[in-house]
Structure 1
Amino acid sequence: MPDADRCPRCGQPNSCAQASREQPVQDCWCFHTPIKQSALDELPAELRDQTCLCPNCARALSDTSH
Protein backbone atom coordinates (compact mmCIF):
# COMPACT_ATOMS: atom_id res chain seq x y z
CA MET A 1 0.00 0.00 0.00
CA PRO A 2 1.34 3.47 -0.89
CA ASP A 3 2.27 6.01 1.79
CA ALA A 4 -0.82 8.22 2.26
CA ASP A 5 1.36 11.23 3.10
CA ARG A 6 3.33 11.06 -0.18
CA CYS A 7 2.48 12.06 -3.74
CA PRO A 8 2.15 8.97 -5.95
CA ARG A 9 3.72 10.87 -8.85
CA CYS A 10 6.87 12.43 -7.32
CA GLY A 11 7.10 10.96 -3.80
CA GLN A 12 7.16 14.34 -2.05
CA PRO A 13 4.84 15.15 0.91
CA ASN A 14 1.34 15.81 -0.41
CA SER A 15 0.18 18.26 2.30
CA CYS A 16 -3.25 16.64 2.21
CA ALA A 17 -5.50 17.18 5.22
CA GLN A 18 -7.13 13.82 4.47
CA ALA A 19 -3.83 11.95 4.79
CA SER A 20 -3.86 12.20 8.58
CA ARG A 21 -5.83 9.28 9.93
CA GLU A 22 -6.05 10.97 13.33
CA GLN A 23 -8.21 13.85 12.12
CA PRO A 24 -11.81 13.77 10.93
CA VAL A 25 -12.55 14.57 7.29
CA GLN A 26 -11.93 18.26 6.67
CA ASP A 27 -11.53 20.67 3.81
CA CYS A 28 -8.28 20.41 1.88
CA TRP A 29 -6.55 22.15 -1.01
CA CYS A 30 -7.07 18.97 -3.05
CA PHE A 31 -10.86 19.43 -2.97
CA HIS A 32 -10.52 22.63 -4.99
CA THR A 33 -7.81 21.79 -7.55
CA PRO A 34 -9.12 20.27 -10.77
CA ILE A 35 -6.91 17.56 -12.27
CA LYS A 36 -7.28 16.20 -15.78
CA GLN A 37 -8.51 12.60 -15.70
CA SER A 38 -5.99 11.72 -18.41
CA ALA A 39 -3.17 12.81 -16.09
CA LEU A 40 -4.49 10.62 -13.29
CA ASP A 41 -4.87 7.72 -15.71
CA GLU A 42 -1.11 7.90 -16.34
CA LEU A 43 -0.41 6.81 -12.76
CA PRO A 44 0.19 3.09 -12.24
CA ALA A 45 -3.14 1.37 -11.55
CA GLU A 46 -2.10 0.33 -8.03
CA LEU A 47 -1.50 4.00 -7.06
CA ARG A 48 -4.73 5.48 -8.43
CA ASP A 49 -7.29 6.63 -5.89
CA GLN A 50 -4.98 5.65 -3.03
CA THR A 51 -3.18 8.90 -2.16
CA CYS A 52 -3.35 12.56 -3.02
CA LEU A 53 -1.00 14.28 -5.43
CA CYS A 54 1.20 17.01 -3.98
CA PRO A 55 0.26 20.64 -4.78
CA ASN A 56 3.13 20.96 -7.29
CA CYS A 57 2.09 17.91 -9.31
CA ALA A 58 -1.58 18.87 -9.07
CA ARG A 59 -0.85 22.33 -10.47
CA ALA A 60 1.31 20.85 -13.23
CA LEU A 61 -1.48 18.43 -14.19
CA SER A 62 -4.46 20.74 -13.68
CA ASP A 63 -6.66 21.51 -16.63
CA THR A 64 -6.23 25.21 -17.34
CA SER A 65 -7.96 25.13 -20.72
CA HIS A 66 -11.49 25.88 -19.39
Structure 2
Amino acid sequence: MGEPVPADAVDPTCCPLCGASNQCVMAGSPGAADPALPCWCTQATIDRAQLARIPEAARRRACLCPACAAVLPADPPAGSGQSQ
Protein backbone atom coordinates (compact mmCIF):
# COMPACT_ATOMS: atom_id res chain seq x y z
CA MET A 1 0.00 0.00 0.00
CA GLY A 2 1.12 3.53 -0.69
CA GLU A 3 1.29 6.62 1.46
CA PRO A 4 -2.02 8.13 2.63
CA VAL A 5 -3.32 10.81 0.28
CA PRO A 6 -3.55 14.28 1.86
CA ALA A 7 -7.14 15.57 1.92
CA ASP A 8 -6.21 18.63 -0.14
CA ALA A 9 -4.91 16.34 -2.92
CA VAL A 10 -8.32 14.71 -3.45
CA ASP A 11 -9.98 15.66 -6.75
CA PRO A 12 -13.72 16.06 -5.99
CA THR A 13 -14.60 15.39 -9.65
CA CYS A 14 -13.00 11.91 -9.71
CA CYS A 15 -14.19 8.65 -8.20
CA PRO A 16 -11.89 7.76 -5.29
CA LEU A 17 -12.09 4.05 -6.19
CA CYS A 18 -11.42 3.98 -9.95
CA GLY A 19 -10.34 7.53 -10.83
CA ALA A 20 -13.04 8.04 -13.50
CA SER A 21 -15.27 11.12 -13.58
CA ASN A 22 -17.84 10.72 -10.81
CA GLN A 23 -20.32 12.85 -12.77
CA CYS A 24 -21.06 14.76 -9.57
CA VAL A 25 -23.20 17.79 -10.36
CA MET A 26 -22.16 19.53 -7.15
CA ALA A 27 -18.44 19.08 -7.86
CA GLY A 28 -18.83 20.29 -11.45
CA SER A 29 -17.58 17.06 -13.00
CA PRO A 30 -17.20 16.85 -16.76
CA GLY A 31 -20.22 15.02 -18.16
CA ALA A 32 -22.42 15.96 -15.20
CA ALA A 33 -26.01 16.83 -15.93
CA ASP A 34 -27.57 20.28 -15.63
CA PRO A 35 -26.43 21.80 -12.30
CA ALA A 36 -30.00 23.00 -11.71
CA LEU A 37 -31.10 19.35 -11.44
CA PRO A 38 -30.29 16.99 -8.56
CA CYS A 39 -27.20 14.80 -8.86
CA TRP A 40 -27.59 11.20 -10.12
CA CYS A 41 -26.69 9.91 -6.65
CA THR A 42 -29.84 11.30 -5.06
CA GLN A 43 -31.79 8.52 -6.78
CA ALA A 44 -29.15 5.78 -6.34
CA THR A 45 -28.88 3.08 -3.71
CA ILE A 46 -25.22 2.67 -2.83
CA ASP A 47 -24.07 -0.37 -0.90
CA ARG A 48 -22.39 0.42 2.43
CA ALA A 49 -19.54 -1.94 1.54
CA GLN A 50 -18.68 0.28 -1.44
CA LEU A 51 -18.82 3.39 0.73
CA ALA A 52 -16.50 1.71 3.24
CA ARG A 53 -13.91 1.21 0.46
CA ILE A 54 -13.50 4.98 -0.01
CA PRO A 55 -10.10 6.04 1.36
CA GLU A 56 -10.37 8.11 4.54
CA ALA A 57 -8.85 11.21 2.88
CA ALA A 58 -11.55 11.19 0.18
CA ARG A 59 -14.55 10.66 2.44
CA ARG A 60 -16.98 13.56 2.23
CA ARG A 61 -14.69 15.10 -0.40
CA ALA A 62 -15.27 12.96 -3.53
CA CYS A 63 -18.22 10.88 -4.70
CA LEU A 64 -18.17 7.46 -6.29
CA CYS A 65 -18.84 7.23 -10.02
CA PRO A 66 -22.08 5.58 -11.16
CA ALA A 67 -20.24 2.36 -12.11
CA CYS A 68 -18.55 1.93 -8.70
CA ALA A 69 -21.73 2.95 -6.89
CA ALA A 70 -23.69 0.26 -8.76
CA VAL A 71 -21.43 -2.60 -7.65
CA LEU A 72 -23.27 -4.77 -5.17
CA PRO A 73 -21.69 -7.32 -2.85
CA ALA A 74 -21.57 -10.91 -4.04
CA ASP A 75 -24.30 -13.20 -2.74
CA PRO A 76 -23.09 -15.53 0.00
CA PRO A 77 -22.46 -19.09 -1.24
CA ALA A 78 -25.50 -21.38 -1.07
CA GLY A 79 -25.67 -23.23 2.23
CA SER A 80 -23.30 -20.81 3.99
CA GLY A 81 -25.91 -20.09 6.63
CA GLN A 82 -25.58 -16.33 6.16
CA SER A 83 -28.76 -14.36 5.67
CA GLN A 84 -29.26 -10.80 4.54
Give the TM bin, normalised by the shorter chain.
Answer: 0.7 to 0.9
* Structure 2: segments with no counterpart, 5+ residues: 1-7, 29-34, 74-84
Moved over 4 A (4+): none
Tell me the matched-pair count.
60
Q: 1:34 aligns with which of 36, 41, 45?
A: 45
Identity of counterpart residues, as a percentage? 39
Of structures 1 and 2, the larger Rg is shown by 2
- Aligned ranges 1:1-66 → 2 under 5 Å: 1=8, 2-20=10-28, 26-61=37-72
2: distance between equivalents of 1:4 and 1:53?
A: 10
1: distance between equivalents of 2:53 and 2:22?
A: 18
2: distance between equivalents of 1:45 and 1:25?
A: 30
Change (3 A) 1:37 1:25: farther
* Root mean square deviation of aligned Cα: 2.2
TM-score using structure 1 length: 0.73
Bigger proportion of residues as helix: 1
Deviation at 1:7, TM superposition (A): 0.4
* Structure 1: segments with no counterpart, 5+ residues: none
Deviation at 1:61, TM superposition (A): 4.1
